[in-house]
Amino acid sequence: MPTLRQNHVLLGRICFGVMLAGVLTLVAGCPSDRSTDSAGPTTAAEEGNANDSDSPASDSPDEEPKPKPLLADWEAPAVAIVLTGEQHGHLEPCGCSERQSGGLSRRADFVRQLRDRGWPVTGFDLGGLLKRTRRQSEMKFEVTRDALNTIGYQGLGLGPEDLRLGAEFLFTSFSNTSNESGFDLPFIASNVTIFQTREIGTPLTHRVVEVDGVKIGVTAVLSETYRTELFPDGESPDSSLLQIDDPADVLPGVITQLKDEGSDVMLLLAYAKPDESRSLAEAYPDFDLVVTAGGPEDPVGDTEPVGDSLLLRVGTNGKNVAVVGYYPDATEGDKYRFEVVELDRFRFGHSTEIDDRMRAYQQLLESENLVANEPAITPDRGAEYSFIGSEKCADCHDSEYEVWEESHHHQYGFKSLTVAFAQTSDDPSLVERVRMDRIFDPECICCHTAGWDPQEVVRFESGFVGAEESAHLTGVHCENCHGPASKHVELEESGDTDEVALQAEREKMHVSVETAEVQVCHKCHDHENSPDFEFDKYWEQIAH
């Protein structure tokens, strides 16, 4: 199996340097919004690819909000500590809605803007990079880890999603970057041990990072709640590969080491529920900052004092980035400033380096052809059902077919995954056309072709496997809503059909407007990918 580095070399880039073991929020969905160089954010006029003649209408609101100035009232800190976590597979905004925030590329631009102010910056991530555990998840883990290293992060915790990849994968990931020049993003997990030893070098129990004279001591733990989630039977199926201890058994010794190494700031990355993190802060008051998991997607940015510690919530799904400013000369209660920043499209552009990695990731998906090669499942209605495409429906449902044929579902459902986006330069007369097709990304095609479960991102047998092999299933079809139609057509075309069986199949194919609103449309038009979805408004465009 090719490594990520080998694939990137083929592209003329050397990015990842990681061998992947074979085994699978964008963000699941669609192409990212229009890229810019990391010199600055796009303007509202530059965004709006959905207004192009070859693109469908978007979910953008009529009036764009005025962006809030970035940390406008902050004085320069001794160090700015960037904090994130629980990304859950969201590499970039999928592009289904212009309003979507977040993404690693904008996060890189956020850090660039801080550095352009002359601020010393470092970053740490709580972990929880993934949502699923599949081959694509392994790819996402590696591209995210490489991107975080490029941005300048210096510590990565391990959440339950990451640990589900397995000890062998994590060790392979570590070992293939441990001696790579310029790669400095270790796993940190004080109560997680793989292969029953710390001698292999990963994960670290702690790390002390010096940034412009400030020493930041960081450690990370996985709580009992998440350990139980990983091992519902009480222990790892193979404890020789993965062991998770009680945080109380390891933290006292780690705290002593952090102090002995002269930490000015003591940071705990607690992959724990907020109540558990609060208990940890109370039990171990030496930590100045405790970052907790299990918080809201969009936290308000308030700190919660717990004794002498500050409990911080940094958001989920990659939409926001949190930053702590450290002011050692301030009075005791004012040494830290904290803010959660939404990575919106108005204040933040795209990093060319990170976009290159996103493009390489898509090309790796193509090279392994996961759309066709990942295991398929039997359709809900049974193995005798298959997807046949909308053209066959026209034989009997000609008026409904005409509505579908003119719809965005048909015209742009698949085409939107291949739209070329403009990348502007300082010279507005120079426009480089770049492509980042998503037609090989299971998390995108699941809503843009027929024969997939869009929530579980898994292909049904006979579902779409490729633009050439499954041309009749490209785009959003009748069967996306009504289900596989082969049995229905077979019975309708049979000359001696049992009327009871025929009526039963017709009932299976029927979807009422009420059912569509509650059960069908939201599988793809969910809050994440279509935040402005209003059924009544959208139904007018597809009513049949």
Chain segment 160-177, per-residue pLDDT in tens:
999 999 999 999 999 999
| Sole residue written with tokens 């994968």 | 169
Q: Can you read off the two tokens belonging to residue 148?
A: 């975080």
Chain segment 207-226, per-residue pLDDT in tens:
999 999 999 999 999 999 99
With beta carbons less than 8 A apart as the criterion, state whether 79 and 121 touch.
yes
As a whole number, mean pLDDT of residues 273-282 equals 98
User: What is the reported pTM?
Assistant: 0.85
Q: Is the dihedral of CA 351, 357, 360, 365 positive or negative?
A: negative
As a whole number, mean pLDDT of residues 280-306 equals 97
What pLDDT is stored for residue 421 in this prediction?
Answer: 43
Q: Can you read off the two tokens belonging to residue 256?
A: 């002593």
CATH number assigned to the domain covering 4-28+81-352: 3.60.21.10
10 Å CB burial of residue 2 (0-12, 13-18, 19+) is middle
352-368 and 104-116 helices, crossing angle to 10°:
160
With beta carbons less than 8 A apart as the criterion, state whether 127 and 220 touch.
yes
% of the chain at pLDDT higher than 70: 84
As a whole number, mean pLDDT of residues 486-507 equals 88
Chain segment 338-375, per-residue pLDDT in tens:
999 999 999 999 899 999 999 999 999 999 999 999 99
The number of angstroms, rounded, from the C-alpha of 12 to the middle of its chain's C-alpha atoms is: 25
Residues of the chain with CATH 3.60.21.10: 4-28+81-352
Please, where are the H alpha helices in 473-531? 478-482, 486-493, 499-509, 513-515
Place 64 in a pLDDT band, splitting at 50, 70 and 90. low
With beta carbons less than 8 A apart as the criterion, state whether 276 and 311 touch.
no
Place 34 in a pLDDT band, splitting at 50, 70 and 90. very low
| Amino acid, res. 243 | Q
The number of angstroms, rounded, from the C-alpha of 9 to the middle of its chain's C-alpha atoms is: 24
Higher pLDDT, 219 or 31: 219
What pLDDT is stored for residue 97 in this prediction?
Answer: 66
What pLDDT is stored for residue 35 in this prediction?
Answer: 34
**Least confident window among 24-38, 49-63, 124-138, 255-269:** 24-38
% of the chain at pLDDT higher than 90: 72
Chain segment 388-411, per-residue pLDDT in tens:
999 999 999 999 999 999 998 998
Distance CA 462, CA 117 (A): 55
Q: Is the dihedral of CA 201, 206, 210, 213 positive or negative?
A: negative
Place 494 in a pLDDT band, splitting at 50, 70 and 90. confident
Place 65 in a pLDDT band, splitting at 50, 70 and 90. low
Chain segment 35-63, per-residue pLDDT in tens:
333 334 332 222 222 223 333 344 444 56
First to last CA, the chain: 48
**Least confident window among 262-266, 321-325, 347-351:** 347-351
Q: What is the mean pLDDT of the chain?
A: 85
User: In terms of DSSP bridges, do strands 242-244 and 192-194 run parallel, antiparallel, or are they unpaired?
Assistant: antiparallel
| Amino acid, res. 302 | D
Place 489 in a pLDDT band, splitting at 50, 70 and 90. very high
What pLDDT is stored for residue 95 in this prediction?
Answer: 66
